[in-house]
């Protein structure tokens, strides 16, 4: 251990650690969980600190050598070289000050090391130099937006697009597979399997549009408001220059918040983003749940599709294979919906000039993006791409479907149709034979009207 000092006195810090006294105090104060900020968030912190140092040096607020060393150290943080130095629990001070301090200390000590023989211990100051022109209160919300925006662009949207493509391909493949429709889990008029999968593809395409729209909110950054939104201790134009530097690095249309008081006191953009993720989770849940129902059986249930067999499904029942990928997706959806609840409640707890639930909101938002991205890829690659239509089973079930009588309504009326359906259900006869026996329509006309493929195309069958 080594002895370090902060404004509260001496602290023992692990000898090899780049972090310092304030971080160590937070390590000791928050032994809450094993949850830590992940790669995306640490990347965002490194990006902010590096761009701030570069601009500070260029504008003359930092000595050139200091600025260069801080930039190099911050780039190491951004690139993942120092992830093991970010040791703090997610459940900490609500502003995330401990984590901003963690970043400041790591960058400062590493920059001092980079300066080498010409430096003295801690010749780069965590607050005066690395945190110049910033506050935890604008850095942490900025990091949340940067990390989430990058994760959406690089991970989630491409994954959803791949899944949509898989569903579209299956929709085309199954365009001629006619099957029973179902509403209320009960038999309904025929559809094609392709129409069902086309509906799933459209759900995901709509989710892509919703998620894309949240990027505009996430691209607006709180940096420049410093402590309470006034920008105290930040030179005029400093934040705009830092944000421009980050925009160039990330190739993203980042911009400074139009109102820094809103950007720091509220986390509405994070709540909005989580809402779009929740809708995506619900869509994925619906699709996954349908897939497992459609594949259920394989002998005693619906079994209109076959899912790829991936692993044994039981420790006691030989040969059993379960819909493991849809079940995984449903659990991911449940987690994302739970994350959204936490984010929603976190967003409600902005008090006066600062929200004090930011670390847990950041963690949950980034976890939701990651889970949806990885699970969507797995659902597409390990399930949807390998789905096969059980054509014979689908045909058998739709031919036994008494609700096809609906196509006869324009010709025999709803009440007679209901009579036919009830008799068919009670006796086991098919609709065709009952209508012919009662003399309501000719045999040829019934056969023409009960064309199940034609029923999937809409309109009145004449």
**Among all residues, which ones are annotated catalytic?**
184, 314
Contact (CB, 8 A) for 424 and 403: no
How far, CA to CA in Å, does 372 sit from each of 43, 155, 207, 379? 20, 9, 11, 10
What are residue 36's phi and psi, to 5 degrees? -130, 160
Could you please report the per-residue DSSP string of 238-283? Answer: HHHHHHHHHHHHHTS--EE-S-HHHHHH--HHHHHHHHHHHHHHHH
d(Cα 270, Cα 44) in Å, to the nearest integer? 16
Preceding omega of 228 cis (within 30 degrees of 0): no
Strand partners, 179: 191
Contact (CB, 8 A) for 289 and 182: no
DSSP 307: P
Token pair listed for 179: 């099957």
Token pair listed for 411: 């010709």
Contacts by residues 442-451 (CB-CB < 8 Å, ≥ 24 positions apart)? 445/411, 446/408, 449/407, 449/408, 449/411, 450/404, 450/407, 450/408
Half-sphere exposure for 44 (CA within 13 Å, toward CB) = 26
Could you please report the per-residue DSSP string of 339-390? Answer: HHHHHHHHHTTEETTEES-HHHHHHHHHHHHHHHHHHHHHHHHHTGGG-EE-
What are residue 62's phi and psi, to 5 degrees? -130, 145
Token pair listed for 232: 């105290």
């Amino acid at each position: 251990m080594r002895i370090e000092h902060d404004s509260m006195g001496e602290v023992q810090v692990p000898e090899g650690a780049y972090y310092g006294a304030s971080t160590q105090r937070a390590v000791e104060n928050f032994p809450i969980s094993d949850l830590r900020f992940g790669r995306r968030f640490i990347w965002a912190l490194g990006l902010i600190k590096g761009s701030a140092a570069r601009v500070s040096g260029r504008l003359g607020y930092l000595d050139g050598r200091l600025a260069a060393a801080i930039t190099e150290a911050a780039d190491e943080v951004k690139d993942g070289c120092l992830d093991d130095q970010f040791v703090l629990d997610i459940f900490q001070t609500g502003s995330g000050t401990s984590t901003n301090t963690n970043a400041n200390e790591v960058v400062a000590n590493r920059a001092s090391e980079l300066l080498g023989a010409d430096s003295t211990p801690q010749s780069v100051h965590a607050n005066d130099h690395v945190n110049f022109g910033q506050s935890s209160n604008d850095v942490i919300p900025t990091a949340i937006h940067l990390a989430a925006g990058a994760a959406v662009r690089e991970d989630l949207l491409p994954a959803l697009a791949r899944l949509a493509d898989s569903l579209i391909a299956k929709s085309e493949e199954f365009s001629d597979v006619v099957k029973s429709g179902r509403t209320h889990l009960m038999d309904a008029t025929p559809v094609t399997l392709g129409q069902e999968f086309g509906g799933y593809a459209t759900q995901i395409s709509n989710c892509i549009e919703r998620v894309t729209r949240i990027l505009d909110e996430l691209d607006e950054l709180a940096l420049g408001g410093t402590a309470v939104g006034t920008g105290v201790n930040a030179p005029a134009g400093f934040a705009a220059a830092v944000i421009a530097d980050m925009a160039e690095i990330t190739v993203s249309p980042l911009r400074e918040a139009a109102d820094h008081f809103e950007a720091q006191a509220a986390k509405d953009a994070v709540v909005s983003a989580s809402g779009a993720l929740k809708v995506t989770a619900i869509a994925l849940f619906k699709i996954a749940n349908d897939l497992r129902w459609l594949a259920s059986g394989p002998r005693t249930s619906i079994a209109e599709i076959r899912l790829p067999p991936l692993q044994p499904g039981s420790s006691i029942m030989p040969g059993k294979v379960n819909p493991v990928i849809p079940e995984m997706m449903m659990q991911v959806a449940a987690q994302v919906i739970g994350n959204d609840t936490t984010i929603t409640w976190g967003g409600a707890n902005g008090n006066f000039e600062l929200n004090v639930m930011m670390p847990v909101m950041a963690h949950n938002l980034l976890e939701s993006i990651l889970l949806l991205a990885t699970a969507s890829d797995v659902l597409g690659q390990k399930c949807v791409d390998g789905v096969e239509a059980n054509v014979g089973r689908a045909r058998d079930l739709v031919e036994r479907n008494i609700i096809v009588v609906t196509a006869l309504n324009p010709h025999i009326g709803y009440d007679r149709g209901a009579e036919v359906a009830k008799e068919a259900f009670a006796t086991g006869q098919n609709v065709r034979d009952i209508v012919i026996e009662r003399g309501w329509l000719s045999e040829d006309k019934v056969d023409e009207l009960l064309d199940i493929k034609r029923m999937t195309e809409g309109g009145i069958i004449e």
